[in-house]
Each structure stands twice: as structure tokens, then as C-alpha cells.
Structure 1
């Protein structure tokens, strides 16, 4: 079996700059922590500003529709940047490119609350998404390049934090800033950790030489096709539910044009000598399985955050700060659970496919339990479900990273990073679109059924406003139950794939 490997191009660059490969030590660890901090902050910036959007819109006198474009533009450029950042990090050096991305990300965050008008704020958010999206691929590259073989899984566990730990902090932080400080802190929260990350990266990561000769082989056609394709698809998906999908000519143009450009982009990549995406790698069973399963897992992980938050807000009237304990119970223990799961997968006698199966089973069990919710549930009733998520999430994510990176050759490392991060970003967007569409469809269905069942009851004529409110609450409860059942079905379906798609992968080196 091929062990987790360092991208050869990056390793060669390092050797040429210092003469010998970087020696692992505290300095490298500090650099890795700096990149991890920057990636977590980038994800939190997206989550917190999205959750606090109502306060931001109120302060800046921005309408609801305009607010959705702030979210969509940030996400679109963020996902698109993940596809092309690995090539840039090799060309301009990993350390230099990472520092530039963090710097631009921080400066735009500082300036955003002072935007003179909506258009300038939209431009700043779009550019900030571009800078923030360039960071996640750097984290995977640093973990695979600099960590010793028996510690690589712990580096990947740090990357997994961006899918398990980071999203759970969005609600608590949004509640903290909007309730106790100011809406401006939803933008400014990034300043201190970003500056700390820059210091850690500047100190800890070795400096590679510039490789500007790669610009002569730059895949311009791929960039001109792929970047707008990804942006159009992301915006079309995020705006689709609001504009009633294909009933809107704009959504039809975005999704249709985006798919056409994406097909042309993939055709171009197949024949390019230096592509951004190496399509031939999809023939590797474990990588294809990991990418497919990752998309499904991210749908479930996003749902277990959105469903309880939405239910508590609409049925029980909770503010984000009141929902925070539910999210924190799931997020904070990840700091312990992920290293434990990494240690488990690092044992040679442990098959990571079984770990993945157990993790998906815990997610399915949690969702089945959630499907039993009623209008009487309060915050405390979700704690048991979140406890299952504590180990279910890392056990579902980390084995996928191991399967994806453990079956590739050293030369394919940068391509695997581009594949994994781009699919991760697109999967999160698709998950949002799917959940929005399912919520709308089931909410309309249950509302119609409840009204039909009410019929000509005498209750229909008394306190109609209060009755309408109760009907909406009950429709939300039934919709939340349906969504939980859908997520359980996705998790169970992914378990079935384990039996025939992935092959056994051993850790890089078992601990002695």
C-alpha cells in the first residue's frame, strides 16, 4: 500500500532552498498551528456573518435580497479559490502565498464595517472569500509535507477540525457578538487570531524559492473556464431556493451556464500537461469513494447544526446565544475526540473502514433519535443527540482523509489536495441547497395537510392569528423530523458503500 506521502514538487522546492528537507520540531508545529488557526478563522467568518446577517442588514440598512448576495458571493469565490490555490502555493512558495492570503483576508475584514455603500461591501466580501478559500488547501499540504509518517494522521485530524469543530462555533460566536458587543465584531473577530496565525506561519514554515518559470506553463484556459463555472454553480445553488429555482431565468442561466463551463473545464483538464485537476485520479477507488462519501457526510454534518438551531428559533423562540450550549457540546469535545480517533486509526491492526462504518452508524442513530422530536422539546432534549455526534463526526471524517491521501503517489499530492478541498467546498454548498429545498417542500406539504385536517373546525374561527402560529410551529416540527430521517437514510446508504468500494489502507507507520 502507498503511505501518506509528501507532494514531490513541494519537497523538491524545499530541498533547493535549504539544501536538506526541513527538520521536524517545535518550529514546524507552530507553523502548522498557525495555518490551522487561519483556516478555522476563515470558516468562522463565513458562518458567523451568515448567522448574524439580520443584525448586519439592520445596521447597514440592507434588504434581505441584498444580504443573500453577500453570503453567496463570499462562498462562491471561496470555493473557487480552493481549486487553484495548490498551484499558486507551489509557484509563489507555500509560506509566502499563505501569508499573503491571510493578510488580504484580515485587511478586508477590518474594512468591511466601514464600507460606504452596499456595492463596496459586496466587492470586499467577494475578495475576502477569495483569500479565505485559498487557506484550507494549505493546511492539508503542510500536514502532509512536514509531519513525520507516524504523525501525519494527527495533522489530518487538524484538517478535520474544519469540518467538525469550526462549524459548531458559528452559532455561539454570532450570539456573543450580537448580544453583548456589536455587529461590527462579526467582521472584526478575525483580527486577533489572524495576526497570531501570520506570526506563527512566518516563524514556523520554511521559505521555499519562487518558481516563476511555472507561469510559462500556466493553464489559462482552465482558469478562465473553471473559475466562473464554480462561481456560477455556487451562486445558482445558494440563490435557487429564494428565487424558486428554474422558475427564475437567472437561476437557469447560472446553473446551465455553470454546468456547460464545468464540462468544458473538465475536457480541458483531461488533455492539459499541467492541469489543476487530474481527472485520471478518479480511477483510484479509494479516492473516488472518499470524495463521494465526503459529500454525503457533509450534508449530514450541516443538517445536525441547522435543524436544531432552526427548530429552537422558530418553535421555542431561542436567540443564537441560547442555542449556543447545544452547539458547544458537539464542537468543543472535538479537540479531544479527533486526536483519539487519529490514534485509533494509526494502529496497524485497526481497519479505518470499520472506524468509518461506526462513525456513520453513530450519525444515523443520532438522526433517528432526532426524528422523534415534538413541539415540547427544548434545548436540553438535544444534548443526548449531540453526545453521539462527538465521536460520530470525527470517526466519519478522518478515515475519509486517510483513504483519500493513502492511495496516491507523491507526484499526485497537489492534485489530491485540489480534488478534496474543492469537493468539500462544493459539497457544503450543495448540502445548503438540498436542505433549503427539502425544508421548503416539506414545510409546504405539512402546512397544507394540517390546514386540510383542520377543515371547518370551530377552532378555525377563534383567534385565527394564534392558530396560524401554532400550525406553523407544528409544520416546523414535522419538517424537522422528516429532515432528520432523510439524514439518517443518507448515513445508512453511505455505510452500504463501504462493503464494495474502498480497499484496506494501512497507516503510514504504526506507533511502536
Structure 2
């Protein structure tokens, strides 16, 4: 490849790296800065889910149809995931504190303006800008935790990051219910403003100010930015619009999938050889980091059993509104504020093997999926509480230890590389998991409906048309019940893969240790 040859000939000369900034002593002021980043990151994740759940109500307010409204979600998701790729690089270049304040304020400003959008085009533009700003925040949280936290509380910082995967997504349903059932719909967008302003203020007060490092532009991986961001954006749009446009029957989906299939492999090749990459693929040679990436991406599928599937069943079969579905989400969300630090406290012991904690957590999630597979058309909200309790305990037992295993092999100066890879892949597989679930439900519902209707047709001779209509409605409801039961069984296969990976890939790791005196 010409790029490789030029690099070997010395065409690309690495600029002398700037000395790393002196670590600031950890105190209450820096702790407040970390809390500010946590608030901003949680707000970003919650905003994405709330607007997605409240989309049917928002379409009526803006006078949009379903097909037009799906682009509101697609545009935001594509911008969010693509920006996660470059956020750590930008934070290091422009200084973490300055960059975090700017993107947090921009994120809040776009939310404030969205209700006043006069048409679909302006609303999409605001959502793209908000997605770009919001996508920068979760990677900054991991970068800050790896850089600033001293060894004895690092696991508690990682447990705070774990809240973005366990607490935030499950809090979205209750917030949606509050804003759409009895409050002003504008709060769906405006709910982020107080948290955003508080987060920006705490960041400005607590985080130290690094110098600008504009010399990094000499080694800007512009090829990687174009290939990576473009490929990810095309893939996300294809995944979120594929079901509506009938996948390969649509020329747009074909072009997007082809574009992603070409650009993403080229992006990975470029990153392997670039002197200052966005993705440092060499980190995957470390077994525990590779395990963390693999497990976290597959966990995005399993987490659907705790939030999306019960909510879809209660909404589609029992006719629940978000306010009625809210308690099952709170059963998982609220305990995370206590359970995540508790898990960090447990694995912060040298005699505790984090791999066994992950195995126990996967066991609890397996029990929850087995219980969900027994779903019938008689189930109501209260029947899910026991399953939600298993999820509430099992999810942090998986996420917090895998973060310890993955980041334990990462040097603090490699934090931005690790943060970019972890957050981009986690967000991308969240979209993939949602798309897979949507297509699975559609395919299995059609299968079960056809099977049940075939059996009904053999016995329906002589029945009145009114009776047949009523029976057809019950058949459709039963088809959805069987479909959701199949979804729980399918997730057991994903958990089985996670157990196989756990048994083969990670090595024994110990919690962070005090630095060795010279």
C-alpha cells in the first residue's frame, strides 16, 4: 500500500509527544468535576432513550407521519455513535476541561431549541448537532476516570461509568411517562437543561485546565475520521431504517450497506498503521481488553431482556401506557445507585476473582431469561417484578467486573484510545441489538400468526364474520406472546456465548494496586 511505503520511507514523521500533564492531586474539588462529567454523560444517554420512547407523542405535536419521524431517531443515533469515535482525540487536543464544557453546553442548547423547530429539516439539523455533542460525553467520562482517579477508588469510578449502561437506559421510561402523561411535552427536550448546566458548572469548577495541544493536528488521522465516521453513520442509518424500507429491496439501504462494507474495513486497515490512530487496534492483543470489548458489546443484547422486551409486551399486548410501565424500569434503575458501588467494593479485594463474579451475574441473567420464556397472555406488570430483581442484581455483576478486567491492562496515557473503542462499539452494538430485536419480533410474529391462523382456518367454518374478527385479534395477541417468549429464549443463546468467552479469554486480574516506590 502506498501509505505504508511512504511511512517506511519517513514521509510521516511523528512529532515529539508532549510531556503528559502532571496528575492533579485528588481532592473534593476534582471529585466534583468528575461528578459533573458523570451527570453530563448520564444526561446524554437518558435523552437519547426518552426522545425515542416519546416519539409517537412528539409526532402528533409536530404534525409528522411515522416515516418522517423515524429520521428524528436515525439522525441522532448516527451522529452520536460516529462522534464517539473522535471525541477522545478532540478532548486531548483542545483540553479535556474546555472540550467537556463546550459540548455539554451545546448539547443543552440544542435541547432548548428543539421544541421551536419550524419544520422537519430544522428539527433534524438540531438533532444531528445534539447527537454530535451528546456522543462526546460518555467517552469523556471513561477518559476522566482512567486519568484522574487514584488506585484505591478507581473501581468506584468505573462503577459510576457502569451506570451509563445499567441506570441511565432504565431511567428513561419513567422520565418519559412523567413528561408525556401529565406534564408539558416540551420537557422531553428541556429535561436535560438543568442537568447540563449543573454538569458544565461542576466541570468548570473541578477539572484542571490542560494546555492546548494543537500540534496534534500535524498527525491528524483525517483518513480515519472520514472512513470511520462516514462508515459508522451509514451503518447506523441502514440499521435504523432497514425494517421500514424493507432492507435490500430499497436502493438507499443497499447503498448505505455497501458504503459501510467498504469504508469500515479500510478504516480498520488505516488505524493499524497510522502513527496516531483513533482506534488503537493493538490493544486487542491484550486478552482482558479483548474480553471486555466482546462482553460489553454482547451485553447490549442481554440488557434488552430487562427493559425493551417487558415494555414492548406490556405496551403491545396489555395496552399499557409509559406511566403504567414505569415501575418495572425503576426496579432495575434505582438499585444500581447502591448495587454498582457494592460490586466495586466486593471485587476491590485481592482474594475475589472478578471472573467468578461475572459468571454469577450471567447465571442470574439466565434465570431471568428462563423465567421470561414462560410468558403467557395473562401476565401483567406485577409478574415481571421477580425477573426485574434478577436483572437489577445481575447487570452490575457483569458490567463492573468486566470494566475492571478491561481497563486493568490499560496505561493511563492509553485511556483515550480505550475510551474511543469501548464507547463507539458499545453504542454501535446498542443500535445493532435494537435492530435485531425489531426484525426478530417482526419475523416471529408473522410466523406465529400464520401458524395459528392456519390452524384456526380448519375450525372456523360456519362462524360469523364478527366472531372471526374477534378471534383474529386474539390470535394476533397470542402470536406476540409467543414471539416475546422466543426472544427470551434467544437471549439465552447470547448468554451461553458470553459464558464460553468468559471461560476461554480473560486471565486472572487483581484490583488496582498502589504505585511501587522507586
- TM-score of the alignment, normalized to the shorter chain, above 0.5: yes
Q: Deviations over 1:480-507 (max 9, x none)?
A: 0000011122112211221111111110
TM-score after normalising by structure 2: 0.94
Deviations 1:169-206 (A, max 9, x none): 11111111011112211000101111111111111111
**1:264-305 Cα distance to aligned partner (Å, 9 max, x none):** 111111111111111222211111121111111111102321
1:222 lines up with 2:235 in the alignment:
no
Counterpart in the other structure of 2:51? 49
Do the aligned partners of residues 466 and 73 (structure 1) sit closer, same or farther apart at CA in structure 2, a change above 3 Å counting? Answer: same
How do 1:180-329 residues align onto structure 2 when only pairs under 5 Å count?
Answer: 180-329=182-331
> Which of residues 491, 495, 512 is equivalent to 2:495?
491
Structure 2 counterpart of 1:468, from 469, 472, 475 = 472
2:82 maps to 80
CA contact 2:355–2:508 (8 Å) conserved in 1? yes
Instruction: Quote the offset at 1:413 in angstroms.
Output: 2.2
In the alignment, which residue of structure 1 is the partner of 2:505? 501
Counterpart in 1 of 2:350? Answer: 348
Aligned counterpart, 1:162:
164
What is the rounded CA distance, in whole Å, between the counterparts of 1:172 and 1:411 in structure 2?
39
Partner of 2:439: 437
Which residue is equivalent to 1:92? 94
Contact 1:168-1:328 within 8 A present in 2 as well: yes
SS across alignment from 1:499:
helix
Instruction: Give ranges in structure 2 of 5+ residues lacking alignment.
Output: 1-15
Q: How does 1:365-444 map to 2 (within 5 A)?
A: 365-444=367-446
Shift of 1:509: 2.6
SS at match of 2:374: coil
**Contact in 2 for aligned 1:10/1:90 (Cα 8 Å):** no
Cα offset, 1:318, TM superposition: 0.4
* Alignment partner of 1:478 is 2:485: no
Stretch deviating more after TM superposition (23-32 or 449-458)? 449-458
Name the CA shift for 1:10/1:123 in 2 (closer, same or farther; >3 Å).
farther
Among 14, 28, 32, the alignment partner of 2:21 is 14
Cα distance in 1 between the residues matched to 2:296 and 2:257: 22
CA contact 1:37–1:193 (8 Å) conserved in 2: yes
RMSD: 1.5
Is the Cα contact below 8 Å between 2:305 and 2:369 reproduced in 1? no
Equivalent pairs counted in the alignment come to 497
For residue 333 of structure 2, the aligned residue among 331, 334, 342 is 331
Q: Deviations over 1:240-287 (max 9, x none)?
A: 112122122211111111121111111111111111111222211111
Instruction: Name the structure 1 match of 2:365.
Output: 363
- Distance in 2 of aligned mates of 1:22 and 1:326: 42
Higher relative contact order (CA 8 A, sep 6+): 1
- 1:221: how far off? 1.2
The structural deviation recorded for 1:11 is: 10
Q: Which residue of 2 aligns with 1:68?
A: 70
